[in-house]
Amino acid sequence: MGTILVTGGAGYIGSHVVLKLAERGEDVVVLDNLSTGFRSAVLHGDLMIGDTADRHLVSKLLEARRVDAVMHFAAHIVVPESVEQPLKYYRNNTCATGSLLECCIESGVRHFVFSSTAAVYGIPATGRAGEDAPTEPINPYGTSKLVSEWMLRDAARVSSLDYVALRYFNVAGADFAGRIGQSTPNATHLVKVACEHVVGKRDHVPVFGNDYDTPDGTCVRDYVHVEDLAAAHLDALDYLRQGGGSATLNCGYGRGFSVHEVLGAVRRVSGETLNVVPAPRRPGDPPQLVAVAERIRDLLGWTPRHDDLEEIVSSALAWERRLLSGPMT
């Protein structure tokens, strides 16, 4: 087996994937510019500090380490920020992916696993999205990833590179051994925000909109444990190594929870009452976004092991408590 290049491997999801690759004894090199990632989150392999868009660096790395598979996580991921600074997202997410793909094809990389997002669906008519649902993103983050998917599709057609693009739903939770977790300051994701409130880092949890056309008026999402999501990447790599053809797959459990249901789980797990404050709707939020998620099970044999909201919350909360003892470096 050749070396695996993991871009963004010092970030939240990438670092969990690197740990799983370590458990299998894979040869890993991480490329991360540490703009939002942490050196100390890379618990395996070699860390190169640099930018995915740096062609010279990337080409040298691919050749020197004889990389034959790339897992590409490096990206900006904050939806509201993408609305305010769209070109930052197109540059860092779309243009950088194009540049990385060119380097990969030039160096003969065979397998590419791409971090995509359910945000490519925009507002699905029924609230559920299968892979063939229309892709009509409603924010630049989603568009930046969708265009990357198209580049990947078109480049794979005319090269020997094959790929799996995983469209993530709402990723949350942390490593059960407590070694890594979501560490970004000023996080905007619900589970993290609620856990920060429980440990005293925030004085309240805002609920963005309570008049949506959903059962309790708050938005519904498909929350996936980061451990299961990480496992899906290894399944994708195995599939490609065994000769599987390129595919774009949802990665979600296929069931949704509202904001109030998530906060209920946080209350039960923590035993704390929460200061929940109604707030206006947040721009770019679809009312309901839940995966139709059979294809990934059929094609990759992905078997989720942590489809349990309380398990997601308890691991996220344990990590938040660990962060109290000192920030990541």
Question: Which residues are near ligand UDP by CB under 6 A?
Answer: 79, 170, 188-190, 193, 205-208, 219, 221, 259, 282, 285
Q: Considering the complex, what minimum distance in angstroms separates the CB of residue 202 from ligand UDP?
A: 9
Taking the C-alpha atoms of residue 166 and residue 250, their distance in angstroms, rounded to an integer, is 6
Residue pair 285/219 in contact by the 8 Å Cβ criterion? yes
Q: Considering the complex, what minimum distance in angstroms separates the CB of residue 85 from ligand UDP?
A: 17
Which CB sits closer to ligand UDP, 58 or 129? 129
Which CB sits closer to ligand UDP, 90 or 208? 208
Q: Considering the complex, what minimum distance in angstroms separates the CB of residue 282 from ligand UDP?
A: 5
Burial class for 276, CB neighbours closer than 10 Å (0-12, 13-18, 19+): middle
Q: Considering the complex, what minimum distance in angstroms separates the CB of residue 118 from ligand UDP?
A: 8
Taking the C-alpha atoms of residue 119 and residue 221, their distance in angstroms, rounded to an integer, is 11
Which CB sits closer to ligand UDP, 15 or 214? 214
3-state helix, strand, coil in the chain (%, to 5): 40, 20, 40
Which CB sits closer to ligand UDP, 104 or 266? 266
Sorted by sequence, the CB contacts under 8 Å of residue 211 that are 6+ apart come out as 217, 281
Residue 242: CB atoms within 10 A of its CB come to: 7
DSSP, collapsed to helix, strand or coil, labels residue 48 as: strand
Residue positions annotated with a catalytic role = 141
